A and B are shown apart, each in its own frame.
Chain A
Amino acid sequence: MPNLEHPAYPAADLLHLESLVPCRESQVSTLLSIFGERQQFSFPSIFIYGHTSSGKTYVMQSLLTTLQLPHVFVNCVEYFTSRLLLEEILIQLQSCSSGAEPSSPVHCDTLNDFVRLFKQAVASQELQDQTLYIVLDRAEQLREMEANILPAFLRLQELTDRNVTVVLLSEIVWELFRPSVGCFEPFTMYFPDYSIGKLIFSSAFQGLYNTLSEDVQKFIPGLSAALNFAKYCEPVVRGEANERDTRKLWKNIEPHLKKAMQTVYLREISSSQWERLQHDGGEPGQLKGLSAHTHVELPYYSKFLLIAAYLASYNPVRTDKRFFLKHHGKIRKTNFMKKHEKTSNHLLGPKPFPLDRLLAILYSIVDNRVAPTANIFSQITSLVTLQLLSMVGQNDQLDGPRYKCTVSLDFIRAIAR
Chain B
Amino acid sequence: MDRGQNHIHGQSAANLCYQFGSDNPLLGMGIQQPFVPFTSPFGASSSTNIPHMDWNPATMLDNLTFIEDKIRQVKDVIRTMVDNGGQLPCRQGDLTQQQQVVNADLTCLIVQLISTAGSLLPSLKNSSFLSHPPAGHMDTVNHVGSSSSFIPNVTTISEENKEDMCSPEDYEELFKGFTDGAMEGGIEIDNVFVEEQDAKDGDEGGDASMDGENLPPGSYELLQLEKDEILAPHTHFCSICGKGFKRDANLRMHMRGHGDEYKSPAALAKPPRDASAEHELVKRYSCPFVGCKRNKLHKNFQPLKTILCVKNHYKRSHCEKSYTCSRCHTKKFSVMADLKTHEKHCGRDKWLCSCGTSFSRKDKLFAHVALFQGHTPALPADEPKNSSDQISRVGSHQEPAKFPSSMSSSFMWGTSSSDDRGLDIKGLAGCSEDILSTGNFGSFNFSFGPADGFTGEPSGSTFSVLPPEHFQSAQKKGKN
Chain B associates with chain A: no
Q: B-contacting residues of A (Cβ < 8 Å)?
A: none
